[in-house]
Amino acid sequence: MKLEILQVPGCPNVGLLERRIAEAVAGEQIDVAITHRVLNDQAAATEARMTGSPTLLVDGEDPLTEPGSVAGVSCRLYPVEAAASTDGAPSVAALRAALNLAARNASIEVPAGGPADCCVPAAGDISCAEQASRRPCRQAPLRPNSVRVYS
């Protein structure tokens, strides 16, 4: 299975995505190859169909995209299933579904947070304006709660 991570330069959520991919495929008998493509302009993002960073392509397709997603050089936010919030990478359960792996009874999520994560408050309790004043990002007008522009 070929996985490609589309990202902006220095995207802080790539590590979180990589850890969750590793957890999602742990114990599975599949061959996974991960490559990275760094995109730093709108034209490249549009051509690659990157709907925010990080975007995961599975065999060339984005199984996690939502209808109406717009390509762009921005932080991508993913819904959190158990809460009305977002995170900088898809959950392990969402990744397992995207990779067509059977659901497991228990899954340990790699928590967001710490100095490496950008744009996404760990508990969803910091406003975008406050978050933007702390970190180099701001909310994009494309789709509320789904992407934030990386600047």
pLDDT one-digit tens code per residue, 120-132: 444 443 333 343 3
* More confident: 16 or 80: 16
Q: What is the pLDDT of residues 34-72, one digit of tens each?
A: 999 999 999 999 999 999 999 999 999 999 998 889 999
Residue corresponding to tokens 């050089």: 73
- For 79, the enclosing helix (H) or strand (E) is strand 78-79
Is residue 110 over pLDDT 90? no
Report pLDDT for 84: 78
pLDDT band with cut points at 50, 70 and 90 for residue 103: low
**Contact 75/119 with Cβ under 8 angstroms?**
yes
CB atoms inside a 10 Å sphere around CB 42? 13
Q: Which amino acid is at 1?
A: M
User: Would you say 6 and 14 are in contact if contact means Cβ atoms under 8 Å apart?
Assistant: no
